[in-house]
């Protein structure tokens, strides 16, 4: 199938799908061949069109794109699609493996019809061959085949795909089935069908790849190399054998756009049982302890120490065991041992990257805080070991590389609000007699400052360990807030509005403050002599991301609010207006919360 034909047929199918409305109890997935690799499914395209129209109006761009007033109607009119379509059906496009001698995948579209004969009148140059009907696209003589399977018109350029109705369709249950119905648009990945194709190839090539991975590896590191390669193959094999389905979904609402990705595994198998043991919770205050301040990004996650340690042993354990006794990598083993000890003492982690202060001079300084909940004494011991191992490893790696690393750990070096904190300092010095060294030195100074990196860390209570980098005002605020463990950020109206659009139960959450990132960039640009008098409203809604579990399924979500999109579009028009001398007129951005 040539490229021009693929594009033309693809546009036709897309228009056809978006011209349909509603979804019925009949499941289109049951009509799709079980060997299909992936399915693109639209739920209620008429409603999608209405949502697009409403969102376009809210964002102030409807006047610039007239088609947004009635996108589905515009497509119907353009492609003359009107008769015989069942407005209560589901629509799907299935992708299958390429045929013999082909490189591109094959695909079939399923269109719900109320009157198949009337539906065919939408098409051009019709010819009937038994149960099959052929038609073609304008300026393309190659036939496209259509057949009536139950309440669906099934369309494809490959005759063999519709010559006989499949005996069984795709059976979907659990979290994947819920995702197929709850999203406006969703891609279903048939992991079982993909595994049937990839798993034999993976196992057939395993021995050869493992031998290639041994080439050039020093004899004393050969066991570790083998263990690492074996772990990679074990993970891939486990995912393919135990995976059941994956989905990527998109939904629209007056609140904004939601994206969702989900991977589901066999609940009776090891990976599914591990995921099921990770409990999502509506009660966890994942942002508790962070002080009130403007952040570039901030978030938190909860952990079960027993689960974390088991996953670490399963993934890292074989490699660590193979490295033990090798003097050259003793520091790497120390890091692994310390990392496991930290995980065993951790039940929650909260992080924040603070925006530069308004009066900050020079490049934006990195100000970061990490709060670790759990056994703070155990965490402290593990962190000390981890940093010492990291320092030893960096010094080893830097030998003969044109740089020297000066780093040390000073126990109880500083007291902040009655809390004794260790200090870790690190400075990388490059050979500035070479262009590359001079450039590396400049980059390091802009990121860490001329004196290098410095962090403070230690327990603020029996249950909370803190690690932070920043100015004295930030340090004092962090320690005071960590002691109180108050959820200051989570109670903010803009954060709460985004959190409500994410799943109620969460394992982890992250918020990205686009407005603070933009303003920090503008401030840095101003210091570099590239000032732009651009203003953003305060306290814009951040982008929200979350991780959660649903039984044996792992789910990731993202919410981009209409408030944020409207403000960014308005700002974009401001930039255009400045660049064009006032030629662009920005649309009115929505008021926060509307």
Q: What is the pLDDT of residue 555?
A: 97
Q: What is the pLDDT of residue 68?
A: 63
Q: What is the pLDDT of residue 1?
A: 53
Q: What is the pLDDT of residue 590?
A: 55
Contact status, residue 19 vs residue 119, Cβ threshold 8 Å:
no
Within a domain: 250: no
Q: Are residues 160 and 303 in the same domain?
A: no
The torsion region of residue 317 among left (phi > 0), alpha (psi -120 to 50) and beta comes to: alpha
Distance of alpha carbon 447 from alpha carbon 434, whole angstroms: 20
Q: Are residues 25 and 164 in the same domain?
A: yes
Q: What is the pLDDT of residue 161?
A: 93
Domain membership of residue 328 as a residue range = 299-552
Q: What is the pLDDT of residue 356?
A: 81
Q: What is the pLDDT of residue 324?
A: 92
Q: Which of 27, 42, 104, 108 is nearest to 75 (CA)?
A: 42
Within a domain: 241: no
- Rounded to two decimals, the pTM is 0.86
Q: Which residue has the tokens 């938190």?
A: 300
Return phi, psi of residue 131, to 5°: -80, -15
Contact status, residue 571 vs residue 534, Cβ threshold 8 Å:
yes
Q: What is the pLDDT of residue 412?
A: 92
Within a domain: 217: no
Q: What is the pLDDT of residue 435?
A: 78
Core vs surface per residue 201-227: b (16+ CB within 10 A) or e:
eeeeebeeeeeebeeeeeeebebbbbb
- What are the DSSP calls for 421-475, one per residue? EEEEEEEEEE-TTSHHHHHHHHHHHHHH-TT-EEEEEEESSSSEEEEEES-HHHH
For the four alpha carbons of 459, 461, 467 and 468, in that order, the dihedral sign comes to negative
Within a domain: 588: no
Contact status, residue 161 vs residue 106, Cβ threshold 8 Å:
yes
Structure tokens, 48: 């999608």
Q: What is the pLDDT of residue 5?
A: 52
Total of domains in the chain = 2
Q: What is the pLDDT of residue 121?
A: 87
Within a domain: 440: yes
Per-residue pLDDT of the chain (594 residues; tens, 9 = 90+): 555 555 455 545 555 554 443 333 347 888 899 999 999 998 877 777 778 777 877 777 666 666 666 666 666 666 666 788 776 667 899 999 998 888 999 999 998 888 999 989 888 888 988 889 998 876 677 889 999 988 889 999 999 999 888 888 899 989 999 999 999 999 999 999 999 999 999 999 999 999 998 999 999 899 999 999 999 999 999 999 999 999 999 999 889 999 999 999 999 999 999 999 998 888 778 999 999 999 999 999 999 999 999 999 999 999 999 999 898 889 999 999 999 999 999 999 999 999 887 665 554 466 899 999 999 999 999 999 999 998 888 877 776 666 777 888 999 999 988 999 999 988 877 777 777 777 777 777 766 666 667 889 999 999 999 999 888 888 899 999 999 998 999 999 999 999 999 999 999 999 999 999 988 888 877 777 777 777 788 889 999 999 999 999 999 999 999 999 988 888 877 777 777 665 444 455 555 544
Q: Are residues 309 and 456 in the same domain?
A: yes
- What are the DSSP calls for 224-277, one per residue? HHHHHHHHHHHHHHHHHHHEEEEEEEEEEETTEEEEEEEEEE-TTSHHHHHHHT
pLDDT digits 0-9 by tens, 479-534: 999 999 989 999 999 999 999 999 999 999 999 999 999 888 888 777 777 777 77
pLDDT digits 0-9 by tens, 422-452: 999 888 777 777 777 777 777 777 666 666 6
Within a domain: 557: no
Within a domain: 393: yes
For the four alpha carbons of 324, 326, 329 and 330, in that order, the dihedral sign comes to positive
Distance of alpha carbon 294 from alpha carbon 227, whole angstroms: 45
pLDDT digits 0-9 by tens, 305-347: 999 999 999 999 999 999 998 988 899 999 999 999 999 999 9
Within a domain: 87: yes
């Amino acid at each position: 199938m040539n490229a021009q034909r693929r594009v033309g047929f693809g546009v036709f199918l897309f228009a056809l799908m978006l011209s349909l409305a509603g979804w019925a109890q009949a499941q289109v997935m049951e009509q799709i061949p079980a060997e299909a690799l992936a399915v693109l499914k639209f739920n209620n395209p008429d409603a999608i069109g209405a949502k697009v129209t409403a969102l376009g109006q809210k964002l102030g761009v409807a006047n610039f794109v007239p088609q947004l007033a009635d996108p589905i109607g515009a497509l119907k009119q353009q492609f003359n699609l009107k008769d015989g379509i069942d407005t209560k059906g589901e629509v799907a496009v299935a992708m299958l493996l390429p045929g013999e001698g082909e490189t591109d995948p094959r695909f079939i579209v399923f269109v719900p019809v109320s009157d198949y004969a009337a539906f065919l009148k939408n098409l051009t140059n019709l010819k009937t061959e038994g149960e099959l009907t052929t038609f073609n696209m304008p300026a393309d003589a190659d036939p496209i085949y259509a057949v009536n399977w139950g309440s669906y018109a099934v369309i494809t350029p490959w005759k063999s795909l519709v010559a006989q109705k499949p005996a069984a369709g795709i059976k979907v249950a659990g979290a994947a089935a819920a995702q197929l119905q709850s999203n406006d648009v969703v891609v279903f990945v048939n992991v079982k069908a993909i595994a049937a194709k990839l798993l034999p190839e993976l196992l057939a090539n395993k021995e050869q790849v493992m031998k290639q991975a041994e080439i050039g590896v020093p004899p004393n590191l050969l066991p570790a190399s083998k263990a690492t390669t074996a772990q990679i193959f074990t993970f891939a094999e486990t995912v393919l054998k135990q995976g059941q389905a994956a989905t990527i979904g998109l939904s629209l609402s007056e609140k904004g756009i939601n994206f969702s990705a989900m991977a589901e595994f066999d609940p009776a198998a090891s990976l599914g049982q591990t995921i099921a043991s990770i409990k999502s919770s509506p009660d966890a205050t994942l942002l508790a302890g962070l002080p009130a301040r403007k952040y570039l990004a901030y978030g938190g996650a909860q952990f079960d120490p027993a689960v974390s340690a088991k996953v670490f042993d399963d993934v890292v354990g074989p490699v660590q065991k193979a490295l033990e006794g090798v003097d050259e990598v003793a520091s790497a083993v120390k890091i692994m041992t310390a990392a496991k000890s930290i995980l065993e003492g951790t039940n929650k982690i909260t992080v924040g990257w603070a925006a530069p202060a308004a009066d900050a001079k020079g490049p934006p300084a990195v100000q970061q805080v990490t709060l670790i909940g759990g056994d703070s004494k155990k965490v402290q011991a593990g962190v000390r070991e981890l940093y010492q191992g990291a320092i030893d490893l960096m010094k080893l790696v830097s030998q003969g590389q044109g740089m020297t690393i000066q780093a040390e750990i000073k126990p109880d070096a500083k007291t902040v609000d009655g809390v004794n904190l260790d200090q870790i300092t690190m400075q990388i010095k490059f050979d500035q007699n070479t262009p590359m060294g001079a450039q590396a030195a400049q980059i390091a100074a802009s990121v860490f400052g001329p004196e290098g990196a410095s962090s403070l860390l230690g327990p603020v209570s029996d249950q909370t360990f803190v690690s932070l980098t920043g100015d004295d005002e930030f340090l004092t605020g962090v320690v005071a807030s960590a002691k109180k463990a108050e959820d200051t950020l989570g109670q903010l109206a803009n954060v709460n509005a985004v959190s409500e659009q994410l799943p109620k139960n969460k394992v982890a959450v992250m918020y990205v403050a686009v407005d603070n990132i933009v303003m920090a960039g503008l401030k840095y640009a101003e210091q570099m002599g590239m000032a732009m008098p651009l203003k953003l409203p305060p306290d814009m809604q951040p982008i929200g991301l979350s991780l959660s579990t649903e039984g044996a399924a792992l789910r990731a979500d993202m919410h981009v609010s209409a408030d944020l999109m409207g403000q960014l579009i308005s700002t974009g028009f401001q930039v255009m207006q400045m660049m064009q001398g006032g030629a662009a007129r920005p649309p009115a951005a929505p008021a926060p919360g509307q």
